[in-house]
Chains A and B, each alone.
Chain A
Amino acid sequence: MEGHQRNLYLYERFNARVLGVSRDDVTTLKYWANGLDLTFPLLSNVTAFLGVSVSVQPEGQPIFGRRTIIIDKKGTIRYVRDGSPDFKDILLFLKKLNQEGGKP
């Protein structure tokens, strides 16, 4: 998450916004975000429907799998990677996507 926070100025440059989604409750996420000085939104999804909708909810487990998803401005999922985020890969993809989309 710190990596995303460091890259916010670059996401801004590429017209991107970052959201975190977790099954943790709001209080836990607030504490966590405060500890890491995060300024972007973290969504608490204790009922797991968001995770189920993108297939990162392992059956019988209380947490999501870790996945990075990029959705374009038309709402199409354009990028999916599991595991720890590859920030350089994400930034290169966003740059390409922004160039594709042209000026808003």
Chain B
Amino acid sequence: MKRKGLIILCLVLVVAWLSGCATTETTKKPYRLSQQGTVIWEDELEFTPPPPDWKLLRVEAGENDINFGFMRQDTGPFPSLTTFAYDEEPFGCTPGFEQREKEFFKRFLFNAIIQFQILEKKKVQVVGGEGLAVLVEGKDPVKKEKVRAKVVFGKRGDRVVGFYITQWRPMDGAYDLSAFEVFDKFVSSFKFLKKSFYETL
């Protein structure tokens, strides 16, 4: 491989993780509603919002990063909760969907220590191109909890972006699949209104 002139980027690191902390939105709104009823997010993204019983979540990330999602407290005992989100930087590094999916699920809901079973995996059309949708279920027999999740990988320029929904239930609880329909509508409506930072470099 051709070796070019060197600029060495040197990192001194502590092997530690800084995970994002979810908070509900309290500051200046980064979005506006279009006349068609879609949400325009920071003049960069457009999507159909979920019904009003879904609460907006912001994820503390880098100052210029887009990380947000929606949450709904479901009826039923703990942990009956559904969240879904768009993520500019889903876990993993590889630009190919198949490998990225493997990398992603090494880390997805890592703290819950759940082994996922893939229920369905299929190619889909998302954000104007080909993507990959993966439906999984994980169970925690110790806490007697389970989670059903769907992850959709798509492309923005050269980079993989992700959408995911997680629905937690007690082990004997029933999933509410209507939430997944809301998620699917959100994903299928999603558009990029301008190039990402990485595409403009």
Do the beta carbons of B201 and A11 come within 8 Å of each other?
Answer: no
Do the beta carbons of A5 and B93 come within 8 Å of each other?
Answer: yes
B5 at the A interface (CB under 8 A): yes
B142 at the A interface (CB under 8 A): no
Residues of B within 8 A of A103 (CB): 5
Residues of A within 8 A of B93 (CB): 2, 5-6, 36-38
Interface string of A1-29 (1 = CB under 8 A from B): 11111100111011111111110100011
Restricting to B1-22, which residues have a CB under 8 Å from any CB of A? 4-16, 18
Do the beta carbons of B11 and A94 come within 8 Å of each other?
Answer: no
Of the candidates A2, A6, A66, A68, which one forms a contact with B14 in the assembled complex, judged by CB atoms under 8 Å apart? Answer: A66
CB distance from B9 to the nearest CB of A (A): 5
CB distance from B106 to the nearest CB of A (A): 7
B64 at the A interface (CB under 8 A): yes
With contact pairs A2-B91, A20-B13, A22-B13 given, residues A95 and B7 touching in the complex (Cβ less than 8 Å) = no
Do the beta carbons of B94 and A37 come within 8 Å of each other?
Answer: yes
Closest to A71 in B: B8
Interface of B is mostly: loop
Closest to B61 in A: A84
Do the beta carbons of B11 and A98 come within 8 Å of each other?
Answer: no
Residues of B within 8 A of A101 (CB): 5, 7
CB distance from A59 to the nearest CB of B (A): 15
Residues of B within 8 A of A14 (CB): 7
Residues of A within 8 A of B4 (CB): 15, 104
Q: How many residues of A contact B (CB 8 A)?
A: 57
Residues of B within 8 A of A1 (CB): 13
Of the candidates A28, A38, A50, A73, which one forms a contact with B6 in the assembled complex, judged by CB atoms under 8 Å apart? Answer: A73
Do the beta carbons of B12 and A16 come within 8 Å of each other?
Answer: no
Do the beta carbons of A91 and B201 come within 8 Å of each other?
Answer: yes
Residues of A within 8 A of B94 (CB): 37
Complex Cα spacing A38 to B93, Å: 8
Residues of A within 8 A of B8 (CB): 16-17, 19, 70-71, 73
Complex Cα spacing A101 to B6, Å: 10
Residues of A within 8 A of B11 (CB): 4, 18-21, 67-69, 85
Residues of B within 8 A of A9 (CB): 158
Do the beta carbons of B6 and A22 come within 8 Å of each other?
Answer: no
Of the candidates B7, B62, B106, which one forms a contact with A35 in the assembled complex, judged by CB atoms under 8 Å apart? Answer: B106
A46 at the B interface (CB under 8 A): no
Of the candidates A21, A28, A35, A72, which one forms a contact with B12 in the assembled complex, judged by CB atoms under 8 Å apart? Answer: A21
Do the beta carbons of B92 and A19 come within 8 Å of each other?
Answer: no
Residues of A within 8 A of B103 (CB): 37
Residues of B within 8 A of A92 (CB): 201
Q: 6 more A-B contacts (CB under 8 A) besides A63-B14, A70-B8, A70-B9?
A: A11-B9, A29-B15, A51-B12, A65-B12, A68-B11, A69-B10
